[in-house]
Structure 1
Amino acid sequence: MSERNNFIDYIRIFARSGHGGQGATHFMRNKLTAMGGPDGGDGGRGGHIILRGNSNLWTLLHLRYFKNVLAENGENGSKNNCTGRDGKDIIIDVPLGTVARDEESGKIEVEILEDGQEVIWLKGGRGGLGNSNFATPTNQVPEHSQPGEEGVEGWKNLELKVLADVGLVGFPNAGKSTLLSVITAAKPKIANYAFTTLIPQLGMVAYRDSKSFCIADLPGIIEGAAEGKGLGHRFLRHIERNSVLLFLIPADSNDHKKEFEILRNELKEYNPEMLQKDFIIAVSKSDMLDDELKEAIAKELPEGIPHLFISSVTNKGLTELKDVLWETLNKPA
């Protein structure tokens, strides 16, 4: 299976929690008791569908063929006040950053952010009460019991939004994959054509004193991504969780400021809250620049956003870049 197919960040499934068991209608009858009172037991609860965070997973690949998720129904109650057995719960392990939505309403139902976090996604139906619950001084032989509650069902979507501290934003060929391969242990595919990076690549950046932070090279953005062109929303949803966005603009760009504005506008069109994040600009491939050209480019760049000149080939400016990223990630709120 290719690397592209190994990364699954969207799954559509039909899910149904278990129905509750029927409460029993029964009266005690044995050789000593010909006309005993009601002893119908309650039905068991239907099985829940539970999502559980698992930090060892980084994709929804294992759920690829998990098209129908049907939890077990609760058992019916029986005589002697015996409660039916609860339906078996289904636990689905998902990577951190998974969001579960109802397909029809689009509403987010569950968000998994921590390892071991368990959330009941679809609750199983309650078991019905047996007739022993309905005996009163005036009605000592109740003939009715409750049916179990139905489970919850519907088409659901699971989406993965990559959890990383820093997101690399830039047009195809801006040098994002090269930078990631130099400052982390990640080994992204690198080539000189658009959309080389078809899946988010994560890497840990080793910093001073054994500290580290996570950086993600995300699929290249092009003008119109917010409307779904190029890789569109599949790319943009992964940026939502990054607290710092590192804009990579190549030194040989025709218009550095325009390139930044296009990228910034795509994020704004997709979700205006993206503009609340910390921005840093790195001008890549700057080993080809002299001081005069750097000064000219710096004047083009927007004011108020930190910028650095770096080269992944010569390692120029990479230590300074790590310092700025670390300080920005750890600045007081």
Structure 2
Amino acid sequence: MVSSTPSPEAAIARPGIKAPVQETLLTPRFYTTNFDAVAQMDLSGHEDEMESVLAELRADYNRYHFVRNEEFNQCWDSIDGETRRAFIDFLERSCTSEFSGFLLFKELSRKLKGRSPVLSEAFELLARDEARHAGFLNKAMADFGLSLDLGYLTKNRTYTFFPPEWVIYTVYLSEKIGYWRYILVFRHLEQHPEHRIYPLFKYFESWCQDENRHGDFFKVLLRSQPKLWKTWTGRLWARFFLLTVFVTHTLTVLERASFYESIGLDADQYNKDVIRNTNETARRAFPSILDTDHPQFFPRLQACAIANQHLAEIASAKRPGILKFAQKLPWISVILWHMIFLYLLPSINTEPSRATVH
């Protein structure tokens, strides 16, 4: 880290710069991976699919989409109170997530240049899209008198190492769940424009197609690696990442139910719709998916969300750290127990050569 890097206090004190949220299990994370292993990935047998996906990315359908129109040029003080706080929180987390993707893809493109030209180009195009998304969201935050110092986040955010296999599973899911999150909000507000509190939502239809194309790229990457879907370990990992993504989504959505209520959505139903659609989409890439129709599936996710609310209450209380830790343990255990139960439920095998349920 260079000496000119601003301190957290300096970043927080700068006018109009929002203090970064405290990093937790639910905040978007920044990732790094084994670049050499990615460079050595064998794509043989999937060249046509990869070229098709690359052609879609090169077309850059949204080149002129992320342009702010006159609708943004007004005072947004009418969005106030809890709705304003929840909306800014939504913008910040979305911006951080998109920027995290940009950093990872940009570094992958740079590290793979000259070693894997196809993947290097693909990651460069993915980084292009994520940069646009992050910039557009950051400008939206500026309408509320705040913005994120993305340079500060680049230098000071904790980077989590994920093996390439984990990156493929998680990014595929994050892109596909992102598609369903955006498109369901867009369709809802198209039917109920009275709840469209801010013009950003009008951009979601084309925006989510970027997410969809990104997911399609990672689907090809996943299917090009037999060990990720043709082995028993691949099936176990697929179920694990589906579950962790769905639990995280449930905790995040229900923790911020006030935001969804402000745009006329029932947070619980929205969460279920996103998860069901994402799970069904994953059928095309993963060797097994979760049984979201199981009678205990969503009740146990709900129980995780309730436990998480207790954790948040304990974290916000003014108590000694050791006491907080002791109080958190039972609720952490509740979440882990429900996750283990859900993981052990019979899953749905998507490979035609195998039984439907195992």
Structure ranking higher in helix proportion: 2
Higher relative contact order (CA 8 A, sep 6+): 2
Structure ranking higher in strand proportion: 1
TM-score strictly above 0.5: no
TM-score, normalization: structure 1? 0.29
TM-score, normalization: structure 2? 0.27
Point out the structure with max Rg over C-alpha.
1
